[in-house]
Amino acid sequence: MKITAAAIGSFGDVKPFVELGKEMKQRGHRFKVAAFPRFQSYVEENGLEFAPIHGDGDLMMRLLLSECKDGLAYLGGMKQLYRKNPEMMEQAFAAAKGADLVLYILLGGFIRHAAEALGIPCVRVFFYPFDKTDQFSVQMPSMKRNTPLVGFTYTENEIGMNMVTRSLLNDWRTAHGLPKWGLFSDYRKLYGKPVPTLYAYSESLVPREPKWGDHIHVTGFWQGKEKTDFQPDKQLADFLSAGEPPVYIGFGSIVFDGMERVQKAVYDAVKRTGIRAIMSSGWMKWQTGADDSICYVDFVPHEWLFRHVKGVVHHGGAGTSSAGLRAGCPTFVLAFGGDQLFWGLQIAERHLGPAPVDIHSGKWTQEQIEQGLLALKNGAYAESAKQFGVMLRQENGCSHAANVLESLI
């Protein structure tokens, strides 16, 4: 089977597909990842095929996440990204051509239209709930749960996606012999049937909506095998052996105009609480000075590093959240937008970490960050996180997802 996966987004969006791709390749299938060019070497180093989809990842993170204030701003941001890269559809068409199956996440949804033009079946993939449920709202996670208003936030998302599709892709659709997309067209169906859907997270964190059909599968997180051969540099190795286990602090692919203020607040909180910390740079670098209680690093594999820390502090992306929880680490989320506050609340509700801090709202305080760090330092969530990690490590999301995909073709 030949599979093309459109993983348009950050490293946290690409990595799960690489892990799934390795599982599928081991089973004898071909797996191609279509993503921004910055990820080509990572994909190919893992033995998978790559197809470039041009786009500005930094701009995407700003427009659709950290600086996105509401649904209208999100739709405007998507339009701006697509119009800036009009070649994306033809690149998606080329990436899908010859595949037996196309997978896509939300931001890669444009490849669905290329697949339709080619007559190829599709599978939707999400790292957070996207199909309608009244249980909770990812878009507005603080909203009172189990109400019709919660369910309506999902309907809003669907209508918004249709508005963007009509505006940007209808000329392409008609040029390729497809009918125009309407305001009430349904991304959940293709060729008159429900589109199979994979949710790459654990039901232990987010219970399945009972009303979802059997075409929707909650597989567990798509995590790879733990890296045991990684060798840290001397600076990191010496720091880890020099005292009690530190706390990891890093914000991955977040691009945020107010990051300097956030970084200073975190740095000051580290000093005031007296914890030892590993501060990891992502798409934005740490700007604070050197200190004996802090070790600054660039990328270090989470699967290895999180086994050596007493807690993790991060932005709350699904991938980083799963890596920390899988390692049994208490988790403190500083949410910058998107689904991050939702994951932070899920973690806190299960007593796996402190209440999240909503950086995106602009109403956060230095004290909130200090209190969260103190909770990690004092081991308030250590036992529950340890037990939860044991449970997560027993799941195999990649294997479950691969079984579903093999059953489709």
Computed over its alpha carbons, how large is the radius of gyration of the chain? 21
**Domain 234-393 bears CATH identifier 1.10.1740.10:** no
Contacts 24+ apart (CB under 8 A), 12-15: 12/127, 12/252, 12/253, 12/317, 12/318, 12/319, 12/320, 13/105, 13/107, 13/127, 13/319, 14/39, 14/42, 14/43, 15/319
- Say yes or no: do domains 2-224+396-408 and 234-393 share a fold: yes
Q: What is the pLDDT of residue 66?
A: 60
In order along its 409 residues, the chain shows pLDDT tens digits of 999 999 998 898 999 999 999 999 999 999 999 999 999 999 999 999 999 999 877 777 776 766 666 666 777 777 787 788 888 999 999 999 999 999 999 989 999 999 999 999 999 999 999 999 999 888 888 888 888 889 999 988 888 889 989 998 999 999 999 999 999 999 999 999 999 999 999 999 999 999 999 999 999 999 987 666 789 999 999 999 999 999 999 998 887 888 889 999 999 999 999 999 999 987 677 766 668 899 999 889 999 999 999 999 999 999 999 999 999 999 999 999 889 999 999 999 999 999 999 999 999 999 999 999 999 999 999 999 999 999 999 999 999 999 999 999 8
> Which positions ≥6 away from 220 have C-beta within 8 Å?
200, 201, 202, 203, 395, 396, 397, 400
Global pTM reads 0.93
Q: Domain spans of the chain?
A: 2-224+396-408, 234-393
Q: Is residue 340 helix, strand or coil?
A: helix
Specify the pLDDT at position 185. Answer: 94
pLDDT of amino acid 287: 67
- What pLDDT, on a 0 to 100 scale, did the predictor assign at position 393? 94
Which pLDDT score is estimated for 381?
97
Q: What is the pLDDT of residue 115?
A: 97
CATH number at 2-224+396-408: 3.40.50.2000
